[in-house]
């Protein structure tokens, strides 16, 4: 082979190897008809595809059923399985008609094994009836901003054209549910044992979510779904470092891969940047407030490397009153707010609290931090 041809082949092979070598994920493509990836803590949308289109959602409906059951305060109560629950079609826990089972166990069976009989039993116990529970579902949807969703049942079976949601709304619901520690635990459980009346062995329910059980190390939970009309639906959560993500796919032939690709995109491209720090505000232009005000919680926001210079933090303070110098009891608890701007749009506001004088050892720390904080972000002070 001529030397020139060998060189060309070598170059082409090198380019091919380079192109498939691991590195930063710069784009994401999914099989799903509708999909979304959001940051769980801020709600920032990191990727979306037809995320606001109303679709059938199948058994991811049960996320709403689970959180309502948990919030009912009845998790330790015993539920009697009705003939209506016993006869529910589709995926089942094979509950026995008339048996008594703790509501908490029903919620585990609902989330891990997608039991439709469990969904109906939960609905009847918490809402009085399936119809009463559907009312509670829609009320909760309204309260948390699921503006393109409507529920008619607790399981997601295709028994009504009026039962639907969107990828975006299901992400909102999951972000809400993940604030509840009991929901987090149940959603992230791989195996649960429950009593089995009349038998010598316990029921053992293994989670259907393959991301959690074997496919993705950073998975923290979620819910699977399938019906003939909705096709495959999936909600999943993942945590890596200090970043928590939620992915939703509707009608996705390759949903496991879709979720892994979205998560890897999110973790690769975004860093969770801490923009506000709990404690004393490091610098203010007004001498009255200097060293006397603080923020009570941290705030972080996911940003790409290119976006970091598009963040701005502004502190707006109440104009101090002359009488406050001698009558500190008149100073309100909240004396201003910290406003975080991204691309000149407000993404977060946190109250600023008046604390009075801070001990000298704390002042020393804040003086050190002040320079680092302002240099990193670029802060508009007072105004």
Active site residues: 59, 62, 114
Distance, in Å, from the CA atom of 301 to the CA atom of 340, rounded to the nearest integer, reads 10
CA angle, residues 131, 249, 261, in degrees to nearest 5: 155
C-alpha separations of 200 from 74, 128, 196 in Å: 27, 32, 8
Beta bridge partner(s), residue 205: 192
- Per residue, the 3-state secondary structure of 346-365, as one string, reads EEEEEEEEECCCCCHHHHHH
CA-based nearest residue to 350, from 281, 283, 289, 272:
281
Instruction: List Cβ neighbours of 179 (8 Å cut-off, separation of 6 or more).
Output: none
* The token pair that represents 298 in the structure block: 């941290």
CA atoms within 13 A on the CB side of 265: 21
Beta bridge partner(s), residue 350: 338
198 φ/ψ sector (left φ>0, alpha ψ -120 to 50, else beta)? left
Asked if 348 and 301 touch (Cβ cutoff 8 Å), the reply is yes
Radius of gyration, CA atoms only, the chain: 26
């Amino acid at each position: 082979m001529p030397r020139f041809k060998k060189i060309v082949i070598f170059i082409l092979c090198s380019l091919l190897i380079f192109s498939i070598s691991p590195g930063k994920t710069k784009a994401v493509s999914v099989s799903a008809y509708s999909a979304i990836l959001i940051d769980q803590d801020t709600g920032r949308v990191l990727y979306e595809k037809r995320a606001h289109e109303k679709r059938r959602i199948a058994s991811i409906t049960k996320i709403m059923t689970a959180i309502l059951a948990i919030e009912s305060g009845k998790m330790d109560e015993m539920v009697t399985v009705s003939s209506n629950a016993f006869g529910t079609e589709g995926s089942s826990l094979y509950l026995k008609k008339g048996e008594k089972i703790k509501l908490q166990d029903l919620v585990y069976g609902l989330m891990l094994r997608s039991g439709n009989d469990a969904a109906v039993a939960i609905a009847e116990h918490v809402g009085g009836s399936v119809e009463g529970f559907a009312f509670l579902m829609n009320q909760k949807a309204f309260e948390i901003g699921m503006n393109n969703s409507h529920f008619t049942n607790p399981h997601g079976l295709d028994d009504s054209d009026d039962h639907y949601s969107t990828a975006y709304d299901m992400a909102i619901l999951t972000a809400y549910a993940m604030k509840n520690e009991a929901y987090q635990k149940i959603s992230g459980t791989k195996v649960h044992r429950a009593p089995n009346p009349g038998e010598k062995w316990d029921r053992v329910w293994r989670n259907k979510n393959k991301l959690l059980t074997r496919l993705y190390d950073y998975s923290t939970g979620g819910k699977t779904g399938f019906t003939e009309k909705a096709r495959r639906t999936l909600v999943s959560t993942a945590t890596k470092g200090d970043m928590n993500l939620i992915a939703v796919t509707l009608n996705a032939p390759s949903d496991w891969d879709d979720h892994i690709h979205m998560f890897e995109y999110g973790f690769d491209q975004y860093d969770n940047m801490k923009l506000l720090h709990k404690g004393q505000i490091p610098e203010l232009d007004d001498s009255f407030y200097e060293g006397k005000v603080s923020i009570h919680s941290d705030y972080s926001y996911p940003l790409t490397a290119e976006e970091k210079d598009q963040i701005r933090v502004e502190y707006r303070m109440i104009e101090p009153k002359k009488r406050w110098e001698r009558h500190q009891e008149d100073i309100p608890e909240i004396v201003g707010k910290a406003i975080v701007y991204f691309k000149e749009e407000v993404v977060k506001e946190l109250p600023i609290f008046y604390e009075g004088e801070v001990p000298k050892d704390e002042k020393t720390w804040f003086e050190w931090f002040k320079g680092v904080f302002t240099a990193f972000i670029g802060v508009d002070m007072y105004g």
